[in-house]
Homo-oligomer: A and B are copies of this chain.
Amino acid sequence: MPIITLTTDFGTKDHFVGAIKGTIYSELPDARIVDISHQITPFNITETAYVLRNAYKSFPEGSIHIIGVDSELNEDNKHIALKLDGHFFICPDNGLISLLTSEIQPEKIVEINIHDRIETSFPVLDVFVKVACHIARGGTLEIIGKLITSYKKIKELQPTVSEDKNSISGNIIYIDNYGNSITNISKKLFNDIGKGRSFEIVANNYSFKKIHKKYSDIIDFSHPIEQRKMDGSKLALFNSANFLEISIYKSNLKTVGGASTLLGLKYRSVISIKFN
């Protein structure tokens, strides 16, 4: 039985997530259901894209991913199901798969068309779960939708490279649990454009000329522990998802703050890299 994952902006207080799991278990008693996140900022498609892209790859091929963010069906917001990289995704066509499709072409996309049989104000429960269970039982995408080739893309997920290939301009697309500010600039793009040149990263009024391999690289372990400058130091690094990230070492967003608050690097802030 394949795994079914859930990525939503429903929060974990309301009954929504429990109702979805109950419905899946009612149809598939042996289901394995995994929560990826229910704490997506309401209606935030960029956050959804970032979390989904970084989580799905760890699951086995054949996993089915339900994404419930801004999923009300209307003229501008169709429901789609797709197969990509051996995984299935069931979601609204609102651009949240942009980060996936910018790296890997979908094998197949359908626009879900079982709605004429279902009138609902809770489509994730009534439509997406039904589609997921259909796929889990071995059903094909063609039975629950019609093949399509175009789908929405969101632009803010893509950084831009200057014509002379000497600079990259990106944005903060995600703030993580520690207040780290994560950009849309991947390690691959950085290396492809930089080709090993020295560089300066500028974000707000802060400048970084080095990219660290891990957070504690900024600590000088040759000093005794009580003389080390540690907490509160800022650094740039590629995070485990291979995106450029600005961090404050051992920050705490709920007390002293993190890079997002202390350096003013909020969602959508601009960050630029100049290569020499």
Number of copies: 3
- The reply to whether A72 and B22 contact each other, CB–CB distance below 8 Å, is no
Most buried by B among A34, A73, A121, A241: A121
Bound Cα distance from A26 to B87, whole angstroms: 13
- The reply to whether B9 and A41 contact each other, CB–CB distance below 8 Å, is no
Is residue A43 within 8 Å, beta carbon to beta carbon, of the partner chain?
A: yes
A21 to chain B, nearest CB (A): 5
Is residue A29 within 8 Å, beta carbon to beta carbon, of the partner chain?
A: yes
Residues of chain B within 8 A of A54, CB atoms compared:
15, 19
- The reply to whether B60 and A26 contact each other, CB–CB distance below 8 Å, is yes
Nearest B residue to A63 via CB reads: B22
Bound Cα distance from A239 to B125, whole angstroms: 13
One of A136-144, A157-165, A246-254 contacting the partner: A246-254
Is residue A168 within 8 Å, beta carbon to beta carbon, of the partner chain?
A: no
Interface residues on A, range: 35 or more
Is residue A18 within 8 Å, beta carbon to beta carbon, of the partner chain?
A: yes
Is residue A122 within 8 Å, beta carbon to beta carbon, of the partner chain?
A: yes
Residues of chain B within 8 A of A77, CB atoms compared:
216
A17 to chain B, nearest CB (A): 8
Is residue A221 within 8 Å, beta carbon to beta carbon, of the partner chain?
A: yes
- State the A residues within 8 Å of B (CB): 3, 5, 7, 9-23, 25-26, 29, 32, 34-43, 50-52, 54-60, 63, 70, 72-77, 120-122, 125, 176-178, 213-216, 219, 221, 225, 237-241, 250-254
